């Protein structure tokens, strides 16, 4: 407890400093969300943050199989899509699921990939092709083989970019892909 302050006064000061009150902002600067605090100041990305928290040793991205990258990319892509859907409207989970499911199916991912193909760097094209050409033990459900392979390549690219720490590029490509799908 600070000298000359009661326990209640110390608690009020702590609440004021942690909340967005004027007195708190003056003392601690502009209010930031936890992500801004953790990532904005340190320039640490989400993948690096997770690796640090989980105590995962450094690794070589090139050592991962394209299907492993696609496995992770599927989850990252779904999280990006679900975040976009949820932030557009606070609606029922059933409606949110319908909206996100329409965007995460293989056919939609294939359309997105075709829309962004011209925007990929050589490195990104190589990762996409490795994923597209990988031989998967699973079969396409409710999708053509071509769409399934294209979607696998797209997911491998997303997984690679995520592990590389370039979530900004993932979001950029997803937005461009969504825009490209709606223009056709």
Q: Tell me which residues are annotated as active site.
A: 74
| CA-to-CA dists, residue 29 to 11, 12, 22, 165, angstroms | 19, 18, 10, 28
* Nearest Cα to Cα of residue 103 among 124, 85, 76: 85
Measuring CA to CA, how many Å separate 165 from each of 11, 40, 42, 127?
Answer: 39, 14, 13, 15
Q: Which tokens in the block code for residue 73?
A: 């990319």
CA 53 to chain centre: 17
């Amino acid at each position: 407890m600070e000298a000359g302050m009661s326990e209640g006064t110390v608690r009020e000061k702590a609440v004021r400093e942690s909340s967005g009150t004027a007195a708190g902002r003056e003392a601690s600067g502009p209010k930031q969300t936890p992500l801004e605090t953790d990532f904005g100041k340190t320039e640490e990305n989400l993948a690096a943050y997770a690796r640090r928290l989980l105590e995962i040793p450094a690794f070589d991205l090139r050592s991962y199989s394209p299907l492993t990258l696609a496995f992770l990319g599927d989850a990252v892509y779904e999280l990006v899509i679900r975040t976009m859907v949820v932030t557009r409207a606070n609606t029922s989970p059933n409606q949110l699921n319908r909206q996100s499911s329409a965007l995460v199916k293989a056919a939609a991912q294939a359309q997105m990939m075709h829309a962004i193909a011209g925007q990929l760097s050589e490195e990104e094209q190589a990762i996409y092709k490795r994923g597209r050409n990988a031989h998967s033990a699973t079969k396409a459900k409710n999708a053509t083989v071509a769409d399934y392979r294209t979607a696998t390549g797209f997911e491998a690219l997303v997984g690679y970019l995520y592990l590389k720490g370039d979530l900004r590029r993932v979001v950029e490509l997803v937005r461009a892909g969504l825009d490209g799908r709606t223009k056709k």
